[in-house]
Structure 1
Amino acid sequence: MDLLIIYFSLAVGISFICSVLEAVLLSVNMSYISLLEKDRPVVGKLLRLHKTNISKSIASILILNTIAHTLGAAAVGAQAAILFGNDAVVIVSVIMTFAILFLSEIIPKTIGAVYWKQLAPMSAQFIRIFIWITYPIILVTLFVTNKISNGKSDANILTKAELLESMLLSEDDGVIDEKESDVIENVLNLDNIKVGEILTPRSVVFALDETMSIQEIIDTREEIFKFSRIPVFENSIEEVTGIVMTKKIFKQALIDDTISLSEIKKEIFSINENVPVSKALDLFITKKEHMFLVMDNYDQTEGIVTLEDCVETVLGVEIVDESDSTVDMRELAKEKMKQKRKAKGKN
């Protein structure tokens, strides 16, 4: 009777541990591992090794689990036949089946899936021992599985769509709030948003004629006080030739207010309207600029885009200060276009 209990306990016990380890390994994610590496470097690196070489880790667990099931059931059945006779083998087999189902599959895998964070550090050590015990068999199984998969595995590659879905689930669970969720979603979608969608259309761009003198601007154009950078043009807004800093206008006014803007303007960089916002952000940073001229595919001026426009796209809100009279310049451009059409219709 003692042997029967020992065989049963070993079979169910080993299988229980294997099922817990399997559930933990499949539940743990790379972000948790990265955090664990900072707090417990040795355990974190070991867990990362198991996760990145998941075929080897899972193989060791399944090998031991299968051995425990097979040999355990055989040993328990043989011992039951000795103790109770052959007629009892069927009854013992049924009991063994349900015991394995509940005690070594359903319950341990539920525990592993629910408490994987608490069990992950200890599981890493157990898996290392299991790999060492079953290594010769692992080599054979990996040879076969690698032939089937051609050595390719993308199980741990998280796609952008999956990351977005994970973020939305985190929002539903209260891990992050709605604002944080929106910012993350906007950042992930920056490649899909073009500069042409966020620019200020040329019809509502405040710009100055480069032939105007400093004195003339200060006397007649009060709007300059609203801006830190102003595009300058030759003949029309469609021929933007540079940018002038507002502070430079005031500084020059103290020195010589008779010179024209063309003498103090600086170069303005241009980008295509189809450039992604993510790329525009990179260009703003590398070129150390705050304003670009936006051109269409025919090198015609579409408008301007600023670093602020890109930041607004990331945050998902319009950044408005006390000097702004209009929140959305694109809406203002549309309204002006409607007014022009109405005026033409009356004529």
Structure 2
Amino acid sequence: MLIFSAFSSGSETGMMASNKVKLRNISKGSKGAMRALKLLQRPDVLLASILIGNNFANILASAIVTIIMIDYFNGNVLLGSIILTLIILIFSEITPKTIASVYPEKFATKSSWLLKLLVIIFKPLVWLTNILSSRILKIFNVDPMQSATNDNLNSDELRTLLDEHGDLIPMQSREMLSSILGMEELTVEDIMTPHAEIIGIDISQSIEAAQTIIGSSYYSRLPVFKKSIDHVIGMLHLKDSHQFIEALEAGDDVKSILFDTTFISQSTTISIQLSQFQKKDSNLSLVVDEYGEIQGLLTMEDIFTEIVGKFGAAKADLEKEFLIKKDGAVIADGNSKIRELNSFMNWDIDEDGSKTINGTITDFLDQIPQENVCLEIDDYRIEILNIEDNSIEKVKIKKKES
């Protein structure tokens, strides 16, 4: 009886503590794991069967001990109860539950065949007890089937799992996975090229200028506009650049050579936009705000850089962009992104507002600074080093010592 009680206690812990992802992986070559997964599809039936069996074993053991104490120890039932309680506690509860909690999947796999037999044997009794317990559970608004379907992990739980148990994954791969999980939180505005930095072809300028931009472009497509990116005409695929230049030289209309411009909202998440790029077979779009004003440009390369660009060349670029001084201060461009600075320095400057250092300072002052000033934003001291054309060019940022 005590052995069966120990088995029931260990099985309960092993089944409930098992990682279903691990069980699914084991089930590819193990019938026991597959059986355990099927049992976990009805946790209410499984638990009822285990508890009924465990209670039967404990009650029967108690009855046997009582008979023994009456026949051989002058009816000292209290002594028998104390001894039986200690034995059950140590050998039938603590020990098997501890073993099962350390090796839950192994315990669940090995015990699944006997548990399935228990479910069959106690099926009528389980049916009756479940009817009664379900009435009580409804009072507390509890669905016993919910535990069978809530084992899917969200992105935050996956990120925590990766941080705590990702030691066997190479650091480079771990960083990529972390970046992919973070895509649901990032918006287009977070990684786009700002309006002022968009590189495109201005047809109001010379043909030589257009040729220079085409020859130095990193992208396969370029926006074409007249005088300002706000007056965009279309998108030029570089494979059509020769035909485009010939049309400019002949003074012909170039619109027939260009692709239509696609516009996306700055609040669109990166994961959704990546899907849109794939569906539309496009890799470049202009970003607009709620008023339809152009705020920046996003390419497929920007998204890929966000996923794999935490290291390698991109990390080297950040080391050039953020110059760390001996006192711990950082010299940075005004148009540098707050998110990249936080990631590089492990800082926590607020990213909810403006996305660049320039914008953060302007929002804090409620105006464009006209001269070099020093200011403090939260725990950071910021010194403006250079201003040109109403734009902050260089800043020095240092985190205050706590």
> Shorter-chain-normalised TM-score: which range?
0.7 to 0.9
| Structure 2 match to 1:78 | 67
Residue 248 of structure 2 contacts residue 254 of structure 2 at CA under 8 Å; is this kept in 1?
A: no
**How far does the alpha carbon of each residue in 1:221-249 deviate from its partner, in whole angstroms, 9 at most, with x for none?**
46534432211113311122321122321
Other-structure match for 1:280: 273
1:237 is paired with a residue whose SS is strand
Match of 2:389 in 1: 340
Q: Do the aligned partners of residues 138 and 30 (structure 1) sit closer, same or farther apart at CA in structure 2, a change above 3 Å counting?
A: same
- Aligned-residue RMSD, C-alpha: 3.2
In the other structure, the counterpart of 2:325 is none
Once the two structures are superposed, what CA deviation does each residue of 1:286-321 show, in whole Å capped at 9, x if it has no partner? Answer: 111111110000000001011122223333627858
State the match for 2:364 in structure 1. Answer: none
Report if aligned partners of 2:265, 2:288 keep a CA contact under 8 Å in 1: yes
Distance 1:318 1:239 in 2: 37
Instruction: Give the number of equivalent residue pairs.
Output: 326
Residue 104 (structure 1) shift: 0.5
| Residue 267 of structure 1, aligned match among 226, 248, 260 | 260
- How many angstroms apart in 1 are the aligned matches of 2:391 and 2:191? 26
Check whether the contact 2:358–2:391 (CA below 8 A) recurs between aligned residues: no
CA contact (8 A) 1:224 1:246 kept: no
Gaps of 5+ in 2: 323-332, 338-355, 360-367, 369-386, 393-402
Structure 1 residue 281 displacement after superposition: 0.8
Distance 1:249 1:212, change over 3 A: farther
The correspondence of residues 130-141 of structure 1 with structure 2, limited to 5 A, is 130-141=118-129
In structure 1, how many angstroms separate the alpha carbons of the residues matched to 2:172 and 2:305?
13
Per the TM alignment, residue 126 of structure 1 is displaced from its structure 2 partner at its CA by 1.5
Aligned to 1:293, the other structure's residue is in SS state strand
Call closer, same or farther: CA 1:342–1:31 in 2, change over 3 Å.
closer
Could you tell me which residue of structure 2 aligns to residue 15 of structure 1? 5
Q: How does 1:229-248 map to 2 (within 5 A)?
A: 229-248=221-240
**Residue 26 of structure 1, CA deviation:** 1.1
Paired position in structure 1 for 2:384: none
Q: Which has the higher helix share?
A: 1
Alpha-carbon distance between aligned partners in 2 of 1:81 and 1:180, rounded to the nearest angstrom: 68
Aligned to 1:91: 79
Query: CA offset at residue 35 of structure 1?
Result: 1.1
User: Is this contact kept in 2: 1:12–1:104, CA < 8 A?
Assistant: yes
Stretch deviating more after TM superposition (22-31 or 185-194): 185-194
- Measure, in 1, the Cα distance between the counterparts of 2:114 and 2:242: 72
Q: Map of 1:32-51 to 2, 5 A cutoff?
A: 32-40=22-30, 42-51=31-40
Check if 1:166 corresponds to 2:158.
Answer: no
CA shift in 2, pair 1:304/1:32, >3 Å? same
Provide the residue aligned with 2:216 in structure 1. Answer: 224
Distance 1:112 1:121 in 2: 11
**How far 1:262 moved relative to its partner?**
3.2
Q: CA deviation at 1:130?
A: 1.1
Counterpart residue type for residue 340 of structure 1:
D
Q: Which runs of 5+ in 1 are unaligned?
A: 1-10
- Contact conserved, 1:213 with 1:257, CA < 8 A, in 2? no
Deviation at 1:55? Answer: 1.2
Query: 1:327 Cα shift?
Result: 6.8
Counterpart residue number, 1:8: none
Does 1:196 pair with 2:189? yes
Amino acid across the alignment from 1:243: M
Pick closer, same or farther for the CA change 1:149–1:129 going to 2, 3 Å: same
Per mean C-alpha deviation after superposition, the further-off stretch among 241-250 and 57-66 is: 241-250
Q: What is the rounded CA distance, in whole Å, between the counterparts of 1:75 and 1:261 in structure 2?
A: 98
Does the 8 A contact of 1:196 with 1:274 survive in 2?
yes
Deviation at 1:342, TM superposition (A): 6.4
Structure 1 residues 238 and 251: CA distance shift in structure 2, 3 A: closer
2: CA distance between counterparts of 1:297 and 1:82?
Answer: 88
The residue that corresponds to 2:101 in the other structure is: 113
Q: 1:148, 1:275 → 2: CA distance?
A: 45
Change (3 A) 1:55 1:272: same
Work out the percentage of aligned pairs sharing the same amino acid: 23
Q: Residue 310 and residue 225 in structure 1: after superposition, are their counterparts in 2 closer, same or farther (change >3 A)? A: closer
Greater strand fraction, Structure 1 or Structure 2? 2
Residue 119 of structure 1: CA displacement? 2.7
Larger relative contact order (C-alpha < 8 A, sep ≥ 6)? 1
1:312 aligns with one of 298, 301, 305? 305
Corresponding residue for 1:55? 44
The alpha carbon displacement at 1:178 in A equals 4.4
Q: Which moved more, 1:74-83 or 1:126-135?
A: 74-83
Paired with 2:186 and 2:214, the residues of 1 have a C-alpha distance of 34
> What is the CA-CA distance between 1:159 and the residue it aligns to?
4.6
Between stretches 147-156 and 127-136, larger displacement belongs to: 147-156
- CA shift at 1:17, angstroms? 0.6
Cα deviation digits, residues 100-127 of structure 1 (max 9, x gap) = 0010111101111112232332222121
